[in-house]
Structure 1
């Protein structure tokens, strides 16, 4: 036997489902091939950047985009560049509006990252280089840093969220 209060409490439990994951954009460039495939000492430095955005698709559904960019080398001596926009459609229910933005920009990319990491590693390997295994990313720290750098936090019900 349940009371109306218990049923209402159960209805308010947050729920999250990843409805789909997909590659929105993938680019790999090897501008100096085949010269870039020759063994070099030392290996070129690799710069990696991460960006996370989310946008509302409906009242409960959001598209979270995790962008990973990696560039080996500098200036005219670029060995390779890879850019991936990996997305997930996330359905959120029973969550307070003020918790939606942090959830999407922290937990969304955390769910997507292992798949995006593997796609980048495979693209670099298929380009003729050792796979690029990106270290795990602390999305909580990334979110906090971006919120400190940003102007006043946007309303969680806004259609677009972003973190770099």
Structure 2
């Protein structure tokens, strides 16, 4: 490792990150069970799909990161849909000091990790207010999600033998 003139190792850049705002960009909740007049005991099977998107904004060092969830609850026995929740939850971040080659994983791992607790609360409130027990989402491993997406993209671009 190179040293500065005073014999000390060079300093790593100081990372600064602020959440400027968070908001629901789009949301839809459909209580299919009530629309069909369904009654009785059901055994719900909940499936959650997660997608992430990040893009720079016009202002310097600002990025919008969107967590997109599709939550589908179906009856385990009949496979009938009970409810469908689609939500896009965005955060606007001011980020400084992250090296360019590390910005992509930073945006898709660290930023959604910070907004997730707020998104979780919204999902819980919407499902409760929609006539179901509140759905408390499990934690999402954003590192694993990022690695899986990178692997999927590499598979798509790999030459076919």
Give the shorter-chain TM-score range: 0.7 to 0.9
* Runs of 4+ residues deviating >2 angstroms: none
How large is the Cα RMSD of the aligned pairs?
Answer: 2.6
Structure 2 match to 1:73: 74
**CA apart distance, 1:146:** 0.8
**CA apart distance, 1:9:** 4.7
The TM-score with structure 1 as length reference comes to 0.80
Structure 2 match to 1:55: 55
Q: Which has the higher contact order (CA 8 A, sep 6+)?
A: 1
Structure 2 match to 1:148: 151
Structure 1 match to 2:100: 97
Gaps of 5+ in 1: 153-164
Q: Secondary structure at the match of 1:151?
A: helix
The answer as to 2:130 corresponding to 1:127 is yes
Mapped to 1, the partners of 2:48 and 2:28 lie a distance apart of 14
**CA apart distance, 1:39:** 3.5
Deviations for 1:69-96, whole angstroms, at most 9, x for unmatched residues? 1111179821100011000001111111
Mapped to 2, the partners of 1:114 and 1:132 lie a distance apart of 13
Mapped to 1, the partners of 2:54 and 2:117 lie a distance apart of 18
Gaps of 5+ in 2: 1-5, 156-161
**CA apart distance, 1:100:** 0.7
Mapped to 2, the partners of 1:102 and 1:32 lie a distance apart of 39
Larger Rg over CA atoms: 2
The answer as to 2:142 corresponding to 1:139 is yes
Q: Secondary structure at the match of 1:148?
A: helix
Q: Secondary structure at the match of 1:46?
A: strand
Structure 2 match to 1:20: 21
Q: Secondary structure at the match of 2:154?
A: coil
